[in-house]
Amino acid sequence: MKLLLLSGGSRGLGSELYKRYEQNSWLVYEFSRSAPHRNSVEVDFSDPLAAHAVFSRQFDQAAQQDWEEIQIVGNAATLHPMQPLAKMQAQELVANTHINIASALLFLSSALDTFQDHTCRKLLVNISSGAANKGYAGWSLYCGAKAALENVVRSVALEQQHLPHPFTAISINPGLIDTEMQAEIRATSVDNFPDVQKFYKRQADGLLRPPAQVAAAVANILSQPELTPGEVYKVDDVIG
């Protein structure tokens, strides 16, 4: 049997990945606050050490058996709070970095450590964004986190290359997806997010892809036998 460990599988892209893999007979565990699926594990990434205890317990249990393939997909993220850095409440700033950086890293590091000796095909996947390579006023924390995670993955790819049973570590930029994250962007004031009109236009122009279509493209990328460690793959290149 094959195993998918997925953060943020409760809705949006993550929920479609969850359903797709489960339909294809993978055992899937997803980790989120609302935890709506049969194999959801309730966890709040805004408290990284508590979250780490929850998902590492689940990883340890899953590591007791052999798997045909293991995919670890770090997908949970938040844009909140969308506003200039100077205006952010300290508590919200810290919560964002806990979710997008500290817990995201612990999810990946814990999985690497737990499954390092498993001998099957193993992928470590960071769901990234075009925001990793571009600044947006109002999105400083999100842009910073996406850039950080992409570069962590490049470093992990180097760390893994000489190990006996390496993970292939990659990032995927999923492109524009019609999810709650996009609705949240459009609901932000122009004072807090000056580009908001562009995002209304992208929706009006039909540029947001259905999450199920993006999940199929992500699964397609991850099924390729020869993935290049450290690479950022783009769903736009797969769907065109």
Ligand X SMILES: NC(=O)c1ccc[n+]([C@@H]2O[C@H](COP(=O)([O-])OP(=O)(O)OC[C@H]3O[C@@H](n4cnc5c(N)ncnc54)[C@H](OP(=O)(O)O)[C@@H]3O)[C@@H](O)[C@H]2O)c1
Interaction site with ligand X (CB under 6 A)? 8-14, 32-34, 43-46, 75-78, 99, 127, 129, 174, 176-177, 179-182
Tokens (6 digits) for 2:
């094959």
CB of 54 to ligand X, least distance (A): 10
Give the C-alpha separation, 222 to 118, whole Å.
Answer: 18
CB of 180 to ligand X, least distance (A): 4
Q: Is the Cβ of residue 4 or residue 43 nearer to ligand X in the bound state? A: 43
Q: Is the Cβ of residue 111 or residue 177 nearer to ligand X in the bound state? A: 177
CB of 137 to ligand X, least distance (A): 17
Q: Is the Cβ of residue 10 or residue 56 nearer to ligand X in the bound state? A: 10
Give the C-alpha separation, 191 to 196, whole Å.
Answer: 9
CB of 42 to ligand X, least distance (A): 9
The CA–CA distances, whole Å, from 40 to 5, 110, 132 equal: 10, 18, 28
Query: Closest-CB residue for ligand X?
Result: 12
The string of DSSP letters for 134-173 reads S--TT-HHHHHHHHHHHHHHHHHHHHHTTSSS--EEEEEE
Q: Is the Cβ of residue 41 or residue 70 nearer to ligand X in the bound state? A: 41
Are the CB atoms for 106 and 97 separated by under 8 Å?
Answer: no
